[in-house]
Structure 1
Amino acid sequence: MDPNLLTLIKLCLIFAVNALMARGLSDSDADPSFTQRPRLLHCNHSLLLLEMERCGEQFTADMNHIHPEDRCNLTHFIREYHVFSLCTEINAGRIGCFWPNPQVERFIIRVHRHFFSNCTLERLAFTDPPDDTLILLILIPVFLTLAMVALVVWCSKRSDILA
């Protein structure tokens, strides 16, 4: 087969793949529902608060099944919290409100204060390691650096002798 023909076939194949990929990528730009949804609904704040209360009531019922000592451990209530968060997000979108918005944030903060106010983290007091450990941690990199410099100098002198 002629090498020029093979190159021409490869070039045509590259152009075809490039055109398909460019069309596939730019096709999503032509679809407005892909990038943003038109805002047909206006946010009904009173209905939003009612729906948030309903989500909060369900979350309260779910959290009542969890022992109060376990409420600070996320692994015990992660599913319930996910359902609560999803409920607020879906209902805000269904009503025509952005999520999160200031009203939803205030509601979520109120729920956090109610259930998680006793979950404060103890501040860790960082202390220096003992002096022996600190000296060792400082001197090891210093000696390794000096050893590497000495090795480079020795190898460069040795290569001058061999050359």
Structure 2
Amino acid sequence: MALYRGTGSGRLSRGLLLLLWVTLGSKLCPTGAIVQGANTSLAVPQNWTAHESATPDNKSQLPQFTLDDHYWLFAHFCWINFTIWMNNVTGAQLCDWRIISRPYSYLQYCLESAAEKLKFGYPNRIADDYIFKSHYIYFLNCTQDHPVLLDPPEDMLLALIIAPICLIPFLVTLVVCKSKDGKTQS
């Protein structure tokens, strides 16, 4: 990960090199292999296998990439940049929106713009997986400013339910008794 600590366009070019390495290597990945990202791992799509006998002349044996595969590559690139930014954030700062808003917004913008460029629907399953993963890895332990309101204890809840129910027959009886007098009050 020390390769990615650069700033500016250096970070982008290293990320593109990683993307090219993943897509154009002689052996892309064995079936079911895992690509190690920063702080997590994500499964590589199953059809990303390169055959040993594949040559530029024999292109039929090269893997065929679907639109999902292309979007997954872009999304993984967005994820790598996001994790690089989040590596610079310490534990107490993870819940401070002023600090994490820029990397989080970048992740969302990157996923959205990649989907737009590929004419791939957004939101989608792949983008949702990365957004949920970011919440699970980085923001799971953020406490809420307001305490969570819980249901009252069962005995108090029972009293709050039964009291109005018992009050209704008493009020009906009172109305009936008052109306039997026959005198209208003026």
Larger Rg, first or second structure (1 or 2): 1
Q: Whose relative contact order is higher, 1 or 2, with alpha carbons under 8 Å and at least 6 apart?
A: 1
The structure carrying a bigger strand percent of its residues is: 2
The structure carrying a bigger helix percent of its residues is: 1
